[in-house]
Amino acid sequence: MENSTATSSDTLHKIGVTRTNTESSILAHIETSGRSKKGKRFRSINVARCKRILLAFLSRCLFAFHSLLSVWILIHVKESEYWALLIGVLGLYLEMFVTLAVTKKGEWKWFSPTVFIYLCMTIPCIFLLELHAQEERIIIPLNETSCQVSVIKA
């Protein structure tokens, strides 16, 4: 690189074209340090981007796992089919791709669609499980207690 720069400077000098000090310093800065900084910058961007994608995927996996576990427990307890609640898992990963494509930092600033989708999947499960537990608490005591009524004749 230095030889080609020196030969091009010598050639320009022989022709009669001279560079100012600022032009020379700018060209020297671009030729010598620009490539190494650019390469480091691209490496750091790639590492940061990979880290952002990995963390986004990991958080969605944890949310999806917990939602799957919640729906499975609900189905096991209620003995009904509630698998439709897991449609939100597809929404989690679709939202991840949209978020990573649209935003620079990988997440939205004031609102988290991931948490919203997660809550939309788990709150119905928790509500139905609590409702089932409440029904069992009411039904069991009524069956176990028997009231004997005696009629007193006057």
User: Which tokens in the block code for residue 81?
Assistant: 């089919």
CA distance 86 to 117: 10
* Residue 138 domain-assigned (yes or no): yes
pLDDT band for position 138 (cuts 50, 70, 90) = confident
Q: Return the higher-pLDDT residue of 99 and 140.
A: 99
Q: 34 pLDDT exceeds 80?
A: no
* Residue 150 domain-assigned (yes or no): no
pLDDT at 6: 53
Domain containing 9: what range?
A: 2-142
Count structural domains, the chain.
1
* Residue 110 domain-assigned (yes or no): yes
Q: Which range among 4-8, 94-98, 134-138 has the greatest average pLDDT?
A: 94-98
Nearest Cα residue to 71 out of 62, 82, 79, 60: 82
